[in-house]
Protein backbone atom coordinates (compact mmCIF):
# COMPACT_ATOMS: atom_id res chain seq x y z
CA UNK A 1 0.00 0.00 0.00
CA UNK A 2 1.18 3.51 -0.82
CA UNK A 3 0.54 6.50 1.43
CA UNK A 4 0.62 9.83 -0.41
CA UNK A 5 0.86 12.96 1.75
CA UNK A 6 0.49 16.57 0.65
CA UNK A 7 1.30 19.42 3.04
CA UNK A 8 -0.58 22.55 2.04
CA UNK A 9 -0.83 25.96 3.65
CA UNK A 10 -4.12 25.25 5.38
CA UNK A 11 -4.46 21.46 5.33
CA UNK A 12 -2.47 18.24 5.24
CA UNK A 13 -4.07 15.68 2.96
CA UNK A 14 -3.56 11.93 2.79
CA UNK A 15 -4.43 9.27 0.24
CA UNK A 16 -3.85 5.52 0.45
CA UNK A 17 -3.46 3.44 -2.70
CA UNK A 18 -3.46 -0.29 -3.28
CA UNK A 19 -0.29 -1.01 -5.23
CA UNK A 20 -0.81 -4.75 -5.73
CA UNK A 21 -3.13 -4.86 -8.75
CA UNK A 22 -1.12 -3.38 -11.61
CA UNK A 23 -4.01 -3.75 -14.07
CA UNK A 24 -5.97 -0.95 -12.38
CA UNK A 25 -5.55 2.78 -12.89
CA UNK A 26 -4.49 5.08 -10.05
CA UNK A 27 -8.08 6.24 -9.53
CA UNK A 28 -9.25 2.62 -9.28
CA UNK A 29 -6.56 1.79 -6.71
CA UNK A 30 -7.52 4.65 -4.37
CA UNK A 31 -8.60 3.25 -0.98
CA UNK A 32 -9.38 6.43 0.91
CA UNK A 33 -8.54 10.11 1.35
CA UNK A 34 -8.43 12.19 4.53
CA UNK A 35 -7.46 15.67 5.64
CA UNK A 36 -6.42 17.47 8.82
CA UNK A 37 -5.79 21.15 9.51
CA UNK A 38 -2.20 22.32 9.07
CA UNK A 39 -1.09 24.03 12.29
CA UNK A 40 2.60 24.92 12.69
CA UNK A 41 2.31 24.86 16.49
CA UNK A 42 1.54 21.12 16.52
CA UNK A 43 4.37 18.76 17.34
CA UNK A 44 5.30 15.61 15.46
CA UNK A 45 3.71 13.59 18.27
CA UNK A 46 0.41 15.46 17.90
CA UNK A 47 0.37 14.84 14.17
CA UNK A 48 1.24 11.19 14.82
CA UNK A 49 -1.81 10.86 17.08
CA UNK A 50 -4.05 12.36 14.39
CA UNK A 51 -2.50 10.13 11.74
CA UNK A 52 -3.09 7.06 13.89
CA UNK A 53 -6.71 8.08 14.47
CA UNK A 54 -7.29 8.49 10.74
CA UNK A 55 -5.97 5.01 9.97
CA UNK A 56 -8.03 3.54 12.82
CA UNK A 57 -11.16 5.32 11.60
CA UNK A 58 -10.63 3.99 8.08
CA UNK A 59 -9.92 0.45 9.29
CA UNK A 60 -6.50 0.45 7.64
CA UNK A 61 -3.62 -0.96 9.76
CA UNK A 62 -0.50 1.24 9.40
CA UNK A 63 1.60 -1.90 8.93
CA UNK A 64 0.00 -2.38 5.49
CA UNK A 65 1.81 0.76 4.24
CA UNK A 66 4.95 -0.23 2.37
CA UNK A 67 5.76 3.10 0.67
CA UNK A 68 5.27 6.79 1.42
CA UNK A 69 5.52 9.77 -0.95
CA UNK A 70 5.33 13.33 0.33
CA UNK A 71 4.90 16.72 -1.34
CA UNK A 72 4.97 19.98 0.57
CA UNK A 73 4.58 23.70 0.00
CA UNK A 74 5.28 24.46 3.69
CA UNK A 75 8.98 23.70 4.36
CA UNK A 76 8.62 24.26 8.12
CA UNK A 77 6.12 21.39 8.34
CA UNK A 78 7.93 18.93 6.10
CA UNK A 79 10.26 17.48 8.74
CA UNK A 80 7.50 17.55 11.39
CA UNK A 81 5.20 15.40 9.24
CA UNK A 82 8.16 13.25 8.25
CA UNK A 83 8.85 12.59 11.94
CA UNK A 84 5.17 11.88 12.62
CA UNK A 85 4.96 9.38 9.75
CA UNK A 86 8.17 7.67 10.91
CA UNK A 87 6.41 6.61 14.13
CA UNK A 88 4.06 4.41 12.09
CA UNK A 89 5.77 3.56 8.83
CA UNK A 90 9.29 2.04 8.70
CA UNK A 91 10.06 3.49 5.28
CA UNK A 92 11.65 6.83 4.44
CA UNK A 93 9.25 8.99 2.43
CA UNK A 94 10.07 9.88 -1.13
CA UNK A 95 9.93 13.69 -1.07
CA UNK A 96 8.94 15.45 -4.29
CA UNK A 97 11.79 17.84 -5.03
CA UNK A 98 14.23 18.66 -7.80
CA UNK A 99 16.23 15.62 -8.78
CA UNK A 100 13.55 12.94 -8.55
CA UNK A 101 12.09 11.34 -11.66
CA UNK A 102 8.80 12.90 -12.76
CA UNK A 103 8.88 12.55 -16.53
CA UNK A 104 8.16 16.29 -16.81
CA UNK A 105 9.91 18.60 -19.22
CA UNK A 106 9.76 21.84 -17.24
CA UNK A 107 9.96 24.88 -19.52
CA UNK A 108 10.35 27.61 -16.89
CA UNK A 109 13.30 29.85 -16.04
CA UNK A 110 14.28 27.95 -12.88
CA UNK A 111 12.74 24.45 -12.75
CA UNK A 112 13.80 24.05 -9.09
CA UNK A 113 11.31 26.78 -8.17
CA UNK A 114 8.32 24.74 -9.35
CA UNK A 115 6.09 23.89 -6.39
CA UNK A 116 5.76 20.21 -5.53
CA UNK A 117 1.97 20.49 -5.77
CA UNK A 118 2.11 21.97 -9.27
CA UNK A 119 4.58 19.30 -10.33
CA UNK A 120 2.25 16.55 -9.10
CA UNK A 121 -0.77 18.18 -10.78
CA UNK A 122 1.08 18.37 -14.10
CA UNK A 123 2.09 14.72 -13.89
CA UNK A 124 -1.42 13.64 -12.92
CA UNK A 125 -3.03 15.68 -15.72
CA UNK A 126 -0.70 14.23 -18.35
CA UNK A 127 -2.61 10.95 -18.19
CA UNK A 128 -5.79 12.70 -19.34
CA UNK A 129 -4.62 14.94 -22.16
CA UNK A 130 -3.27 14.32 -25.63
CA UNK A 131 -2.43 17.95 -26.32
CA UNK A 132 -2.21 21.25 -24.43
CA UNK A 133 -3.98 21.47 -21.08
CA UNK A 134 -4.72 23.84 -18.21
CA UNK A 135 -5.14 22.64 -14.63
CA UNK A 136 -7.01 25.11 -12.42
CA UNK A 137 -6.41 24.54 -8.71
CA UNK A 138 -8.53 26.47 -6.21
CA UNK A 139 -6.97 26.41 -2.75
CA UNK A 140 -5.00 28.92 -0.67
CA UNK A 141 -3.95 30.41 -4.00
CA UNK A 142 -5.67 29.95 -7.33
CA UNK A 143 -3.21 28.51 -9.84
CA UNK A 144 -3.36 27.65 -13.53
CA UNK A 145 -0.73 25.09 -14.52
CA UNK A 146 -0.20 25.04 -18.26
CA UNK A 147 0.89 22.00 -20.26
CA UNK A 148 1.85 22.60 -23.88
CA UNK A 149 1.74 18.80 -24.33
CA UNK A 150 1.56 15.79 -21.99
CA UNK A 151 4.50 15.89 -19.54
CA UNK A 152 5.62 19.29 -20.90
CA UNK A 153 4.99 22.11 -18.45
CA UNK A 154 4.95 25.48 -20.19
CA UNK A 155 4.44 27.63 -17.09
CA UNK A 156 2.09 28.68 -14.32
CA UNK A 157 -0.30 31.49 -13.42
CA UNK A 158 -0.70 32.32 -9.70
CA UNK A 159 -3.60 34.43 -8.41
CA UNK A 160 -5.01 35.23 -4.96
CA UNK A 161 -7.14 32.44 -3.55
CA UNK A 162 -10.87 32.84 -3.14
CA UNK A 163 -10.75 32.81 0.67
CA UNK A 164 -7.89 35.33 0.72
CA UNK A 165 -9.80 37.67 -1.60
CA UNK A 166 -12.91 37.43 0.57
CA UNK A 167 -10.94 38.12 3.75
CA UNK A 168 -9.18 41.10 2.17
CA UNK A 169 -12.53 42.58 1.10
CA UNK A 170 -13.93 42.11 4.59
CA UNK A 171 -10.81 43.45 6.30
CA UNK A 172 -10.16 46.50 4.15
CA UNK A 173 -13.70 47.84 3.67
CA UNK A 174 -15.49 49.24 6.70
CA UNK A 175 -19.05 48.82 5.43
CA UNK A 176 -18.68 45.39 3.81
CA UNK A 177 -19.09 42.30 5.95
CA UNK A 178 -18.10 38.65 5.71
CA UNK A 179 -20.26 36.63 3.31
CA UNK A 180 -20.61 32.93 2.44
CA UNK A 181 -18.64 31.81 -0.62
CA UNK A 182 -21.58 31.09 -2.89
CA UNK A 183 -22.61 32.52 -6.23
CA UNK A 184 -25.66 34.83 -6.45
CA UNK A 185 -28.54 34.23 -8.87
CA UNK A 186 -27.60 37.24 -11.01
CA UNK A 187 -24.49 39.20 -11.90
CA UNK A 188 -25.91 42.62 -11.00
CA UNK A 189 -26.26 42.68 -7.22
CA UNK A 190 -29.40 44.20 -5.72
CA UNK A 191 -27.99 44.26 -2.18
CA UNK A 192 -24.55 44.43 -0.58
CA UNK A 193 -24.23 40.69 0.05
CA UNK A 194 -25.19 39.71 -3.52
CA UNK A 195 -22.94 42.43 -4.94
CA UNK A 196 -20.00 40.98 -3.01
CA UNK A 197 -20.88 37.41 -3.97
CA UNK A 198 -21.03 38.42 -7.62
CA UNK A 199 -17.66 40.12 -7.50
CA UNK A 200 -15.98 37.27 -5.64
CA UNK A 201 -17.53 34.19 -7.21
CA UNK A 202 -18.59 35.24 -10.70
CA UNK A 203 -15.61 37.60 -10.88
CA UNK A 204 -13.29 34.67 -10.19
CA UNK A 205 -15.04 32.57 -12.85
CA UNK A 206 -14.71 35.41 -15.39
CA UNK A 207 -11.04 35.79 -14.44
CA UNK A 208 -10.45 32.10 -15.11
CA UNK A 209 -12.23 32.33 -18.47
CA UNK A 210 -10.17 35.37 -19.43
CA UNK A 211 -6.89 33.73 -18.48
CA UNK A 212 -7.78 30.50 -20.30
CA UNK A 213 -8.48 32.55 -23.43
CA UNK A 214 -5.14 34.34 -23.15
CA UNK A 215 -3.29 31.07 -22.47
CA UNK A 216 -4.83 29.52 -25.58
CA UNK A 217 -3.72 32.53 -27.64
CA UNK A 218 -0.13 32.25 -26.35
CA UNK A 219 -0.09 28.55 -27.20
CA UNK A 220 -1.51 29.36 -30.66
CA UNK A 221 -4.51 27.08 -30.19
CA UNK A 222 -8.22 27.63 -29.63
CA UNK A 223 -9.81 27.21 -26.20
CA UNK A 224 -11.62 24.15 -27.53
CA UNK A 225 -8.22 22.52 -28.17
CA UNK A 226 -7.33 22.70 -24.47
CA UNK A 227 -8.01 19.95 -21.95
CA UNK A 228 -9.35 21.85 -18.93
CA UNK A 229 -9.13 20.14 -15.52
CA UNK A 230 -9.93 21.56 -12.09
CA UNK A 231 -9.28 20.57 -8.49
CA UNK A 232 -9.03 22.07 -5.04
CA UNK A 233 -11.50 22.86 -2.25
CA UNK A 234 -13.25 25.66 -4.18
CA UNK A 235 -13.30 24.13 -7.66
CA UNK A 236 -16.92 23.03 -7.40
CA UNK A 237 -17.98 26.56 -6.45
CA UNK A 238 -16.23 28.33 -9.33
CA UNK A 239 -15.92 26.21 -12.47
CA UNK A 240 -19.69 25.59 -12.88
CA UNK A 241 -19.95 29.36 -13.48
CA UNK A 242 -17.14 29.45 -16.06
CA UNK A 243 -17.88 29.66 -19.77
CA UNK A 244 -14.93 27.31 -20.30
CA UNK A 245 -15.83 23.68 -19.67
CA UNK A 246 -13.71 22.17 -16.89
CA UNK A 247 -13.67 18.55 -15.73
CA UNK A 248 -13.38 18.45 -11.95
CA UNK A 249 -10.82 15.92 -10.69
CA UNK A 250 -10.57 16.16 -6.90
CA UNK A 251 -7.79 13.56 -6.56
CA UNK A 252 -5.58 14.78 -9.41
CA UNK A 253 -2.68 15.79 -7.17
CA UNK A 254 -2.63 12.36 -5.52
CA UNK A 255 -2.79 10.65 -8.91
CA UNK A 256 0.29 12.66 -9.85
CA UNK A 257 2.05 11.59 -6.65
CA UNK A 258 1.13 7.98 -7.39
CA UNK A 259 2.66 8.26 -10.88
CA UNK A 260 5.80 9.93 -9.53
CA UNK A 261 6.18 7.11 -7.00
CA UNK A 262 5.86 4.55 -9.82
CA UNK A 263 8.55 6.32 -11.84
CA UNK A 264 10.97 6.16 -8.91
CA UNK A 265 10.50 2.46 -8.08
- Residue 243 sits in a domain whose CATH number is 3.30.420.40
Q: Map 180-209 to HEC letters.
A: CCCCCCCCCCCCHHHHHHHHHHHHHHHHHH
Residue 146 contacts residue 128 (beta carbons within 8 Å): no
Q: Which of 45, 117, 170, 172 is catalytic?
A: 117
User: Taking 70 as the threshold, does the pLDDT of residue 211 lie above it?
Assistant: yes
Q: Is residue 173 part of a domain?
A: no
HSE value, Cβ hemisphere, 13 Å, CA-based, for 113 = 6
Q: Is residue 263 part of a domain?
A: no
Q: Which strand (E) or helix (H) includes residue 82?
A: helix 75-86
Total residues belonging to the chain: 265
Q: In this structure, are 51 and 136 located in the same domain?
A: no
Asked whether residue 17 falls in the same domain as residue 84, the answer is yes
The predicted model scores a pTM of 0.91
Q: Are residues 61 and 137 in the same domain?
A: no
Q: Is residue 33 part of a domain?
A: yes
Read off the pLDDT band of 125 (50, 70, 90): very high
> Does a structural domain hold residue 181?
no
Same domain, 25 and 68: yes
Q: How many CB atoms lie within 10 A of CB 135?
A: 30
| Highest-pLDDT range among 22-36, 63-77, 116-130 | 116-130
174-186: pLDDT as tens digits: 545 667 788 889 9
What range defines the domain where residue 151 resides?
Answer: 129-162+192-248
117 assigned to active site? yes
Residue 59 lies in a domain: yes
Could you tell me which of 100, 246, 234, 102 has the C-alpha nearest to residue 159?
234
144-193: pLDDT as tens digits? 999 999 999 999 999 998 887 777 776 656 545 667 788 889 999 988 88
| 67 within some domain | yes
Q: Give domain status of residue 124, yes or no.
A: no
Amino acid sequence: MLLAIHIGNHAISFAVYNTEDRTQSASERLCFCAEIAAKPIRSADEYAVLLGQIFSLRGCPPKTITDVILSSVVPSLTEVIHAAAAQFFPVRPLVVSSGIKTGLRIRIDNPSQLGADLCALAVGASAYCSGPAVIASFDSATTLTVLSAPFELAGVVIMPGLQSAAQALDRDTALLTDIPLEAPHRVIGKNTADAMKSGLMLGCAAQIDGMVSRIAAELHVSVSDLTLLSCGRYAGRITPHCISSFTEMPHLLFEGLYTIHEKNH
